[in-house]
C-alpha cells in the first residue's frame, strides 16, 4: 500500500477561527469525549514551527530574531499587520500538514488553531463539514481580553505597550472577519461564541455537526 502523507489531514476534523474563541478548549473536550487525537496549533507553532521560521530567516539572510518589535507591533497599521499575517498562513499551514503527515493513528485527529484557515483546509479534506470556524462576538472578545492574562499581555521590548496591544487586538479582529468571510464563501460552518452558551454546550453543538465523523 502506498503511503499518503495527507491521509491523516484528509480525515481530520478542523477547528479554525479567531483568537480567544475557545478553540483549544473545544478540541480538548472533543478529544477526551470521543477518543480523538488533538493537534493544538499554537503549541506546535510556538515551538517547532518557530525553529523553522528562524531557519527560513537565516536562509534569506535576514536577522534570526526577526524584525524589530516596534516595527511589528507599534509602527505598523493594523490593516497591514492583518495582511501580513494572512500572507504568512499558507507557509505555516504547510508545516501543519507536515506534522500531520508524520502522525499515523487509528484515531481521527481534531486539529485546532487560528492558522487553520478555511481556504487552506477546504482543498485537503473530503468534505467541508469536517471543519467549523469559531468566532467571538465583540462583547465576548472584550470579556476574554479582560479575563485572560495571556489575551491582554503586553509585548516585551516595545516602546508603547498600550498601542502595541491595541494594534494586535485590531489586527485579530480583521483576521477573524476574513476567516468568517472565507468560511461562508466555502460553505464551512461558522459558530459565534457570545457567552450565552458554556463550553459544554458549544461542544455539544459541534459534536452534532461532526456526528458523521465521530
Predicted confidence at residue 61, as pLDDT, reads 80
**Whole-angstrom Cα distance, residue 63 to residue 54?**
8
Residues of the chain with pLDDT under 70: 1-2, 46, 48
Predicted confidence at residue 21, as pLDDT, reads 94
Asked if 16 and 116 touch (Cβ cutoff 8 Å), the reply is yes
Predicted confidence at residue 58, as pLDDT, reads 80
What distances in angstroms separate CA 194 from CA 3, 45, 79, 109, 136, one per listed residue? Answer: 43, 27, 25, 27, 6
Residue with cell 487553520: 116
Of 213, 188, 207, the C-alpha closest to 26 is 207
Predicted confidence at residue 1, as pLDDT, reads 58
Asked if 152 and 208 touch (Cβ cutoff 8 Å), the reply is no
Of 182, 193, 9, 3, the C-alpha closest to 97 is 9
Predicted confidence at residue 153, as pLDDT, reads 82
**Whole-angstrom Cα distance, residue 36 to residue 15?**
13
Amino acid at each position: 500500500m502506498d503511503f499518503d502523507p495527507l491521509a491523516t489531514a484528509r480525515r481530520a476534523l478542523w477547528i479554525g477561527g479567531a483568537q480567544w474563541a475557545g478553540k483549544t478548549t473545544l478540541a480538548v473536550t472533543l478529544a477526551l469525549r470521543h477518543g480523538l487525537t488533538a493537534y493544538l496549533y499554537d503549541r506546535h507553532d510556538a515551538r517547532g514551527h518557530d525553529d523553522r521560521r528562524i531557519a527560513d530567516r537565516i536562509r534569506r539572510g535576514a536577522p534570526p530574531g526577526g524584525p524589530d518589535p516596534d516595527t511589528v507591533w507599534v509602527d505598523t497599521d493594523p490593516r497591514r499587520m492583518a495582511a501580513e499575517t494572512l500572507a504568512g498562513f499558507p507557509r505555516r499551514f504547510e508545516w501543519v500538514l507536515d506534522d500531520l503527515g508524520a502522525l499515523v493513528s487509528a484515531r481521527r485527529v481534531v486539529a485546532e488553531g487560528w492558522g487553520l484557515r478555511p481556504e487552506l483546509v477546504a482543498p485537503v479534506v473530503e468534505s467541508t463539514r469536517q471543519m467549523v470556524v469559531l468566532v467571538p462576538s465583540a462583547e465576548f472578545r472584550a470579556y476574554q481580553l479582560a479575563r485572560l492574562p495571556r489575551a491582554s499581555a503586553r509585548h516585551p521590548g516595545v516602546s508603547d505597550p498600550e498601542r502595541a496591544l491595541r494594534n494586535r487586538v485590531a489586527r485579530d479582529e480583521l483576521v477573524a472577519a476574513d476567516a468568517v468571510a472565507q468560511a461562508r464563501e466555502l460553505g464551512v460552518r461558522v459558530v459565534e461564541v457570545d457567552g450565552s452558551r458554556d463550553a459544554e454546550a458549544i461542544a455539544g453543538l459541534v459534536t452534532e455537526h461532526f456526528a458523521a465523523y465521530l
